[in-house]
Amino acid sequence: MTDKVQLLWERAVIGGLVWAVGVAVVVWALVSVGGGWGVFWTFVGLVIVVAGGTFALIGTIALGVKLGREAAELDEP
């Protein structure tokens, strides 16, 4: 794997892990925390979900584009 592909792979994986942490925070806030703090932690979790999901999506798309370009270069005569 080239350095660029490795970097994009790491970005996609880290984004997915951040997204999972955000989902866990939202579930925890909805199940365990009540009142105003529950609303606060739900909002914080949703911000983490959006940030992690965006990071993972961008990393995954960039990884696909990079691998596609590398495959196209191999097919050229």
Q: Model confidence over 3-49: pLDDT tens digits?
A: 878 888 888 888 889 999 999 999 988 888 878 888 888 899 999 99
- When the pLDDT of each residue in the chain is averaged and rounded to a whole number, the result is 86
Between 70 and 77, residue with greater pLDDT: 70
Using the predicted structure, report yes or no on whether residue 58 has a pLDDT greater than 70: yes
Alpha carbons within 13 angstroms on the beta-carbon side of residue 68 total: 6
CA 32, 34, 40, 43 torsion: positive or negative? positive
- At 73, the pLDDT band (50, 70, 90 cuts) reads confident
